[in-house]
Every structure is written in structure tokens, then in C-alpha cells.
Amino acid sequence: MHTHHHDHPHEHADVKNIRTAFFLNLSFTIIEFVGGLLTNSVAILSDAVHDLGDSFSLGLSWYFQKVAKKPRTKDYTYGYKRFSLLGAVINSVVLLVGSILILVHAIPRLFNPQQPDVKGMLLLAVLGVIINGLAVFRLRKGSSINERVVSLHLLEDVLGWLAVLIGAGIMYFIDAPFIDPLLSIAISLFILFNVYRNIRRSLHIILQGSPTELDMEEVKRSILEIGEIQGVHDLHAWSVDGEYNVMTIHVVLRNALPIGEQRRLKLLVRDKLRVLGVQHSTIEFEVADEDCGMKSCC
């Protein structure tokens, strides 16, 4: 009971920080779409699409931050962490479709530019930097990985708005309406590049690829440093959500050991794996001449 009471304020702060950033981002996204249409700026409409995707991302992060705290069940024995991947895929599809639509409209305007309302663009750009900056500041105060990842995503928005601000500033002094669709194309291509990276990473996790930050050869070397261990095989590693890594491993002992020694050895192996980035490990011991029935397929 004491532990539950101790953790509750921190969990509440996690959810509250992401919720605040979500409403800030969603409110400004609506302003952007209206402002982009009124100022005739495809650059602002491009960033509105980006922010709409961010709003989806923040909303899903807010939801999954609460869902991730649910205990595991008989249906979801590793808990609900992998649900966050569903949010990442949905968000990527939204950004992909939106960016393609913006490119379809922006590329023709590059060859036949229309003059946008530069003063309106400047006003929206300043608001964009301030509001997204507030969301970043809010999440920077948090300590969870989820909060830090989302804050970095919003920091990209701030940089995008700085680019719009600079572009609008140039158009204020120079008659160069082609800068608006050029900015739009640059923002859309940047979004598409990040969508590609996110989908690739999400699919790698969904298809149970080994965690990219985990060096499997280093895992083997580290375990074989223990004197009582002769070898390892049937080594499998995957990630639940990109942060929580799981491993199963068969460890071959030089000699049969009593239960007490096996327990000590298991804790030692598990500690080594935890240092290397494995949060959940299942370890099976064997002796040198034992046939576990797994070696032929590994």
C-alpha cells in the first residue's frame, strides 16, 4: 500500500504534463489551419499537417501513458506496453497522407507562386514558436522516457516554426513568394523522412527483430566471462515497445551445480544482462552433455 501511495503523484504528473502539451498543440493546430487558409500560405498549412500528426501522437501518448500502467493480464502477459506501437503506426499514416496532399498542392505553386499574407504568416510563426516552446518546456520538466521523447518531437516543431518565421521575414522585405511553397516542400520532405524512420523502427519491433541497441555478441562474451559457464545457445531477444527488452537464453554449465549455486549464478547472469539493456530475461541451465532439443534450430 505504501509503494502505491508513493508512486501515484509521479504517475499523475506524467499524465498531466502530456495532457497539457496535447491541448496546447491541438488548439494551435486548429488556429494554424484557419490561419494558413486566411494567409494563403502552404508553408503554414504544411506545418498544420505536421502539428495535427503531433496532436495525434500526443493524444495517443497521453492515453498510452495511462494504459501502460495497467498490470499484465492472461490475454496480454507482457502488459500493455506494445500498444504504444499502434499509436506510432497510426500517427505515421496520418503524417504520410497529409504530407503527400501538401506536396501535391505545393509543387505546382513553386512554378506559379501566389503572394501570401506575410504579416499574418509572421504573427502565426511567432505564436507557433511560443506555444510549441511552452509545450516543450512543460514536458522537459518530466522524468519519464515518454515525456522526453515527445518533448524532442515538439522541439522539431519549434525549429519548423523558426524556419517559417525566417522565410516570412525575408518575404516581408523582398518580393519572393516562391519561398512559401519552397518552405512547404522542405517541411513535408522532413516529415516524410521521419515517418519512414518511425515506420521502419515500429515494423522492426512488431516483427520481433532484435533490439538495435543490444549487441548479441557482447551478450555472449559477457556471460562466458563467468567461470562456471561453458557456453550459451538458443539466444533470442526482442523488444516489447522499443524500450523494454526481453531475452531467453540457454546457459551450458561446465559441471552440474546444486540449486543454491544455480540460483546465485542466475542472479549474476541476470545482472549482466540488465547492464547490457535487457529488462526481462528467462534463463535455462544445462550441463555440457545434455540435449535440450533446441540446438538444431538455433
Listed by start position, the domains of the chain span 2-206, 216-297
Across the chain, mean pLDDT equals 80
Q: Per-residue pLDDT for 293 more than 70?
A: no
Architecture of domain 216-297: 2-Layer Sandwich (3.30)
pLDDT confidence of residue 11: 46
Specify the range with the lowest mean pLDDT, choosing from 99-113, 201-215, 254-268.
99-113
User: Each residue of 70-90: pLDDT tens digit?
Assistant: 778 888 887 777 776 776 777
Cα–Cα distance measured from residue 89 to residue 149, given in angstroms and rounded to the nearest whole number: 16
C-alpha distance from residue 288 to each of 57, 109, 253, 259 (Å): 50, 71, 6, 17
| Locus of grid cell 495535427 | 52
pTM of the shown model: 0.69
109-124 average pLDDT score: 84
Q: For the residues 203-226, what does the mean pLDDT come to?
A: 89
Roughly what angle, to the nearest 10 degrees, separates helices 42-67 and 145-173?
Answer: 170
Residue 212 has pLDDT above 80, yes or no: yes
Class of domain 2-206: mainly alpha
- Averaged pLDDT, 57-81: 76
Q: What residue has cell string 515497445?
A: 241
